[in-house]
Amino acid sequence: MRADFLNTVVSPADPAVIPQPVAERYFNRELSWLAFNERVLEEADNPRHPLFERLKFLSISGSNLDEFYNVRVAGLRGQMRAGVERRSLDGRTAAQQLELIDAKCSKLQRQQQDIWARLRSLLAGEGVHVVEPGDLSADDRAAMDDLFVRQIFPVLTPMALDPAHPFPFIPNMGLALALQMERELDGEILNALVLIPSQVDRFRRLADGPNGEIRYLRLEDLLLLFLDQLFPGYRSIGRCIFRVLRDSDIEIEEEAEDLVREFETALKRRRKGRAIRLKVNADAPEVLKQMIVDRLEIEPSEIIEVDGIVGIADLSRLITDDREGLAWVPYLPRLPERVRDHDGDIFAAVRQKDVLLHHPYESFETVVDFIRQAARDPHVIAIKQTLYRTSKDSPIVQALCEAAEDGKSVTALVELKARFDEAANIQLARQLERAGVQVVFGFVDWKTHAKISIVVRREGRDLVTYTHFGTGNYHPITARFYTDMSMFTCSPEHARDAAKIFNFITGYAEPAGLKAVQTAPLTLKSTLLDCIEAEIEHAQAGRPAQVWAKMNSLFEGEVIEALYRASQAGVRIDLVVRGICGLRPGVPGLSDNIRVKSIIGRFLEHSRIVCFGNGHGLPSDHARVFISSADWMDRNLNRRVETLVEVTNPTVHAQIIHQVMAGNLHDEAQSWVLQPDGTYLRAEGAAGEELFNCHEFFMKYPSLSGRGRSGTADAPRLTQVAREAAE
């Protein structure tokens, strides 16, 4: 299977693999997401990756699956309990989807444990061990005794379970040790429980072995060594390690008088959400398992017996800097040369020409410096900023506070509905308000997912607006491993549209006459549909017609149907969709001209880009090119505030087409190609062939718009490089 979409054309679909009946036009959303997580898990078994990176992929697959159950499965179970008859886009009821999900997840979890067993053995070969209690020496036991007394015993609360000591509340993701104890004095049975605090490391590092081996002991095993201190006079006759997942969706009253207070209340409800998944070790005594099931009021179908480690997500804590060669060599992002040419003055660099940063290859610190410089520049009079997710102690939030305290007009949109960041965003909203920032929370029923910074600067007698548009969050930490686009411009047209969209968020005034920037849920989807329709007209007129698009997820019915119509008209469509994809590619008569692939590799693909040939095909200097904050999902296009930003600067335009999109389409080393039956096949080359890796390419070569006075001779246009290599 080849995945080079840049230098190959669509091949006719094989009728033998067409799903029957062909009327099934969509893949199921939940199963498509599970297929994505399966690809992530496959990378944990990929021998081309260093061992710690494989362990990281395994851990990510575990945390992904936990969140999937917390939100998606919880929602489906809620629908089923409420008797909701609504069917998915592919025509399945909630009950039918849950049956398929449970079967798929059982297989995934067995694969996780099998891969962990292989990785554990490989790690041992590299001198990294997870030891069993029986492997401990007398010196180890003495060291653990001291550790237990000083650091662990004070935070534990061992609990007997009887009528006077009711079963305690187990929080979401909570890990606990249930015990069946026998009193040594008279043999009386006692059931007991020890909550394992999340604040304590799951894996405790022991003293290194005689040859420098790194050794870890699981926390639950450590606790079993000291049961005599937790329950003096008792001995254990049975144990059960278990983890609880709870419904973590949040419902907000639309008529709430105070959104912050409403979210604070909702977060408390989330913590106590209904238990929807129970993982227990397979060899636990039946009496303990039944007690836990009864107390949690959980259904038999929601119980998973784990033959291995409970809590795959925790395995990332085994990764250490002490072993060279077990992780990728750290990558240091480039600083844009053009900004350095202007002695770090970002405003001067942008005045010269629009700048597009490709993260993480180019440093996110430039985005942070943009806000810092605005905060400290006496000529800046106003800053407006959207914040969906950001880091703890965010330097951007600190800069906004500094600007407000300096008397500048500062407005911040803080999205309280950013899932699992609600509490953090409440705190940063209060921090901003204390500094004098005007804080707004957007819409009650829509999330504001747009990524915009606006800086208004006095220059002579004029006010000049500098705007930053991003495809990812203002989050300095995730920007180190998420691939995203950051565009800086002082284009008056982009500035006017950005200001209109911000006023829409703060004052509900619907923007009129948007030109360079479109917004969901008002004009973004219609713009996409109009551009697809234009490609159909080009194809029907005999002109080249082509679409390139990159996103995280594709699952919006109107857009998928438009792409099907375009395919049938002869438009060539190549899609890079990392995760969920509801569109069936390569189906004769439906989607013959559509190809879809997913890239899973060193960095998390996160940028959203779309290019339309505009009557000239692709690549072309005449193409219409956009970057966006929005995936092509129903929620993003119809129920969120998002942006679709047209790229008009020729250098930025060329960078996206000839480098970023060309690199993604050309990639084979990290690509999986979606088949008409819903399976994904990993790209393969000839024996000994070195497949093109777009992440390695972007790390090696500078981008077009980031180059300064030294020119762009060493910033290759990949469309040319790929074709020269193929000749």
Tokens of 62: 């575990």
How far apart are alpha carbons 683 and 512 in whole angstroms?
A: 46
* Count, residues in the chain: 727
Instruction: For 431, list phi and psi in degrees, rounded to 5.
Output: -60, -45
Helix (H) or strand (E) holding 189, with range, is strand 189-196
Classify the phi-psi angles of 570: left when phi > 0, otherwise alpha if psi is within -120 to 50, otherwise beta.
left
What is the amino acid identity at position 72? Answer: R
φ, ψ dihedrals at 696, nearest 5°? -65, -40
Report yes or no: 627 and 609 within 8 Å, Cβ to Cβ: yes
Cα–Cα distance measured from residue 580 to residue 60, given in angstroms and rounded to the nearest whole number? 16
d(CA 642, CA 629): 6
Q: How many helices (H) and strands (E) does the chain have?
A: 22, 29
Query: What burial letters (b/e) apply to 190-206, b meaning 16+ CB within 10 Å?
Result: ebbbbbbeeeeebbbeb
Query: ∠723-622-598 over CA atoms, to 5°?
Result: 55
Q: Taking the alpha carbons of 486, 488, 489, 495 in that order, is the dihedral positive or negative?
A: positive
Backbone angles phi, psi at 272, to 5 degrees: -105, 20
Catalytic annotation, pick one of 449, 494, 653, 695: 449
Q: Where are the alpha helices (DSSP H) in 353-421?
A: 365-376, 395-405
- Short-list 162, 180, 310, 174, CA closest to 239: 180
DSSP 3-state of 275? strand
Structure tokens at 63: 């945390």
Q: Which residues contact 451 (CB under 8 A, 6 or more apart)?
A: 386, 388, 469, 470, 471, 472, 473, 474, 629, 643
Backbone angles phi and psi of 470, in degrees to 5:
-125, 155
Q: Please say whether the beta carbons of 644 and 626 come within 8 A.
A: yes
Tell me the Ramachandran region of residue 326: left when phi exceeds 0, alpha when psi lies from -120 to 50, beta otherwise.
alpha
> Distance from CA of residue 560 to its chain's centroid?
23
Reduced to 3 DSSP states, what percent helix, strand and coil does the chain have, rounded to the nearest 5?
40, 20, 40
Structure tokens at 305: 């017996």
Give residue for tokens 């692939």. Answer: 597
Residue 260, SS3? helix
Listed in sequence order, the residues at least 6 apart from 183 whose beta carbon sits closer than 8 Å to its beta carbon are: 189, 190, 233, 234
| In contact, 112 and 41? CB cutoff 8 Å | yes
Is 666 an active-site residue? no
Output the CA–CA distances (angstroms, integers) from residue 550 to 3, 80, 482, 515, in the order listed. 15, 34, 14, 22
Question: Using an 8 Å Cβ cutoff, are 586 and 509 in contact?
Answer: no
Helical residues (DSSP H) of 238-364, grouped into ranges:
259-271, 286-296, 337-341, 346-352
The Cα–Cα gap between 378 and 466 comes to: 15
Residues belonging to the active site: 449
